[in-house]
Structure 1
């Protein structure tokens, strides 16, 4: 199970909320946490984000996967703040970061990619008057979303090759194969866009 996922079909209450409302709610939570700057409120928000997963029909294990992916970064932040700041600040920052990532993950898991892209395209339409192409904005966002599983696939392929060669204890050897796989995927995506005339269409 990936830590940060894409849309997961479901029937929970949050699935029926429009993408714009969910993003505005996420923005409001983020602004509220930063403005409050209180470690107790941040811990409460973290607890609420964990309870939100089963409340909207998502497996709690998905929240656990997010925290497992975040813990090295959170540990580094906590150690730095404890050594050079205050423990309350360490708790606040770690709880804020974890809560916001968990909330954001809920939004992506309960919102169809097409709905999210349509929202950004509509938002960018007023910028057409200053030379911004909404279709190109939607295309860039679609490619960005598509890159998430591409990176995961490249990492899995590199790990399989790493194990097949009997290598161990040298994880840095995975970096170059991952980069090569991503470059190949990017070339294939670019060729597909050109073959379909999409790039030329977005220029007009």
Structure 2
């Protein structure tokens, strides 16, 4: 993993595709999966996305690593939709979300952060006439990408501390340490930016 993203070096054909092409394919596939509104299409897309990881030279453990942080949200969404709506819809929505997460993570894992930021800076370039600074857009995106491993690290540290204390059955006790860890990381990032004259 590099300094501010999830990029994993590799040489499969997906790595050689331009960042713009990957994003277009990602948006097209996710749009089709959502528009289809079919649980089997969504499940098939999620399974295909998961199987694409080893085909791209990525260890299957990355599939679990990408899905693990969103599993609690999927469980809540499934329970909420299943109890207030119907279970087939709950299964479809969760499969759609899982497919989108896995596909988006695959793009992130196979694209250098510098390529992604350069792409978004080019896309934001026309907005300079409206007072938008493309370099600031790239900075915001860089910080957003950086937050992904920060959140994962905070959750992992909180979970390890939770287990070390012998706590069981009260996962809500991990929430506050995660929030505190993220606030501290954000403060450190802000101080580093201020020290470099970035406002």
Q: In which range does the TM-score fall when normalised by the shorter chain?
A: 0.7 to 0.9
* Matched residue, 1:168: 167
Deviation, 1:114, is: 0.9
Q: Does 1:98 align with 2:98?
A: yes
Corresponding position: 1:153 with 2:147? no
Change (3 A) 1:80 1:184: closer
Deviations 1:41-71 (A, max 9, x none): 2222122112211111111221133344433
Contact 2:7 2:113 in 1 (8 A): yes
Aligned to 1:125: 125
Distance, in Å, in 2 between the alignment partners of 1:45 and 1:158 is 32
Partner of residue 65, structure 2: 65
Match of residue 53 from structure 2: 53
Deviation, 1:97, is 1.2
**Gaps spanning 5+ residues in structure 1: where?**
200-204
1:14 aligns with 2:14: yes
Shift of 1:120: 0.7
Structure 2: tracts of 5 or more residues without a match: none
| Residues 143-197 of structure 1: CA deviation (Å, up to 9, x unaligned) | 1222223333344444565566x46245444433333333332222222222222
Specify the SS of the correspondent of 1:197: coil
Q: Offset at 1:14?
A: 0.4
RMSD across aligned positions (CA): 2.5
Length-normalised TM-score, structure 2: 0.84
The answer on whether the counterparts of 2:6 and 2:108 sit within 8 Å (CA) in structure 1 is: yes
Cα distance between partner residues in 1 of 2:39 and 2:70: 19
Say which SS state the counterpart of residue 11 (structure 1) adopts.
Answer: coil
Summarize the Cα distance change of 1:187–1:73 in structure 2 as closer, same or farther, 3 Å threshold. Answer: closer
What is the CA deviation profile of residues 8-62 of structure 1, one whole-angstrom value per residue up to 9, with x for unaligned ones? Answer: 1111110001111111111101111122112222222122112211111111221
Deviation per CA, 1:88-113, whole angstroms, max 9, x where unpaired? 32332222111111111100110111
